[in-house]
């Protein structure tokens, strides 16, 4: 196995760990009632950090696979990096808006925030499955 492939593998494992860690951390946050601005800020900050970490690790994975000559895996990792940017630009502003509505006691804000939170978790689970699939297909 080449050094470039070993680096790609290490980067993929880092991406896997990042995604798995944030899934495991975000599911227990569903226990929060999401009924205070503090809950909303905490969950928003958690996902904001995740999207940044996912972008960095997915980008490193894409670059390392490109150097290892694995164009398909590089494209898949690049897609995950772009997805992190897209999700951050969609989910975080939505959480900000709903968090502000929670503060003003808008009754639909709490279920909306919870739906956004659950949707983001489900997307992360799909990403984790894709990462595991890519690791299994390296053989």
pTM of the model: 0.89
- Whether 139 has a pLDDT exceeding 70, the answer reads no
**In whole angstroms, how far apart are CA 87 and each of 4, 66, 110?**
29, 24, 20
pLDDT for position 30: 85
For residue 101, the model assigns a pLDDT of: 87
Per residue in 5-49, pLDDT (tens digit) is: 999 999 999 999 999 999 999 999 888 877 777 888 999 999 999
**pLDDT tens for each residue of 61-107:** 999 999 999 999 999 999 999 999 999 999 999 999 988 888 777 77
Contact 34, 117 (CB under 8 A): yes
pLDDT for the residue 8: 95
Q: How many CB atoms lie within 10 A of CB 68?
A: 21
pLDDT at 35: 75
User: Collapsing DSSP states into helix, strand and coil, what is residue 1?
Assistant: coil
pLDDT of residue 36: 77
Q: How many CB atoms lie within 10 A of CB 129?
A: 11
Phi-psi group of 107: left, alpha or beta (phi > 0 → left; psi -120 to 50 → alpha; rest → beta): alpha
Report the range of poorest mean pLDDT among 11-15, 31-35, 115-119, 125-129. 31-35
């Amino acid at each position: 196995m080449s050094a470039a492939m070993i680096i790609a593998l290490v980067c993929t494992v880092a991406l896997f760990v990042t995604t798995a860690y944030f899934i495991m951390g975000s599911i227990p946050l569903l226990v929060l009632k999401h009924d205070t601005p503090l809950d909303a800020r905490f969950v928003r900050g958690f996902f904001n950090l995740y999207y940044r970490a996912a972008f960095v690790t997915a980008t490193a994975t894409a670059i390392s696979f490109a150097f290892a000559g694995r164009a398909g895996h590089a494209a898949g990792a690049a897609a995950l990096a772009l997805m992190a940017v897209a999700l951050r630009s969609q989910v975080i502003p939505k959480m900000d808006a709903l968090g502000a509505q929670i503060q003003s006691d808008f009754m639909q804000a709490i279920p909306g925030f919870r739906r956004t939170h659950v949707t983001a978790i489900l997307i992360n689970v799909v990403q984790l499955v894709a990462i595991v699939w890519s690791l299994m297909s390296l053989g």
